[in-house]
Amino acid sequence: MKKYARLLASYATIAITAMVLYTPWLVGLTPTDPSILRAGLSVICAIMLTGAFGASTYGYLRQPEYKLLEAGEVMEPDDVLPQLRDFSEASVVGSYAREAMAQVETGEHRRDRLLRVVEATFGAESLSHDKFVAVVDAARRTLLRNCALLANRVQSFDVEGYRKAKRHLPSGGGSAFEAEQIAVYEDALSDMRDVIEANERLLLEMGKLEMELSDLESGDTREDNTRMLDEVKELLEQTKYYR
Local structure of 8: helix, strand or coil: helix
Cα separation of 213 and 83, whole Å?
35
Does 81 lie in the same domain as 197? yes
**Does 243 reside within a domain?**
no
50-64, 165-179, 185-199, 213-227: range with lowest mean pLDDT: 213-227
The alpha carbons of the chain give a radius of gyration, in whole angstroms, of: 26
Q: Based on the domain organization, do 93 and 207 belong to the same domain?
A: yes
Q: Is residue 202 part of a domain?
A: yes
Q: Are residues 144 and 184 in the same domain?
A: yes
In percent, the amount of the chain with pLDDT more than 90 equals 26
Q: Identify whether residues 126 and 183 lie together within a single domain.
A: yes
**Residue 149, number of CB atoms within 10 A of its CB:** 20
Number of domains the chain is built from: 2
Whether 50 is in a domain gets the answer: yes
* Residue where a domain terminates, one of 40, 61, 82: 61
Among 61, 84, 111, residue at a domain's last position: 61
Domain that holds residue 90: 71-238
Q: Is the domain of 20 the same as that of 120?
A: no
Same domain, 82 and 54: no
Q: Express each pLDDT in 135-163 by its tens digit.
A: 889 899 999 999 999 999 999 898 888 88
Same-domain pairing of 88 and 188: yes
pLDDT digits over 96-132, tens only? 999 999 999 999 999 999 899 888 888 877 888 888 8
- Do 88 and 44 sit in the same domain of this protein? no
In a domain, residue 222? The reply is yes
Shared domain for 215 and 104, answered yes or no, is yes
117 and 42, same domain (yes or no)? no
Same domain, 207 and 91: yes
Orientation angle between helical segments 159-168 and 176-215, nearest 10 degrees: 120
Length of the chain: 243
User: pLDDT higher for 15 or 113?
Assistant: 113
Domain membership flag for residue 232: yes
Q: Determine the Cα–Cα distance for residues 147 and 150; give it in Å rounded to an integer.
A: 5
Rounded (to 5) percent helix, strand, coil in the chain: 75, 0, 25
| Final residue before a domain boundary, out of 43, 61, 79 | 61
pLDDT computed for residue 216 by the predictor: 55
Burial class (CB in 10 A: 0-12, 13-18, 19+), 162: buried
On whether both 93 and 167 belong to a single domain, the answer is: yes
As a whole number of angstroms, the distance between CA 127 and CA 239 comes to 26
- CA–CA dist 229, 48 (Å, integer): 55
- Report which of 94, 141, 134 is spatially closest to residue 115, judged by C-alpha positions: 134
Residue 217's pLDDT band, with cuts at 50, 70 and 90, is low
Quick check: is 66 in a domain? no
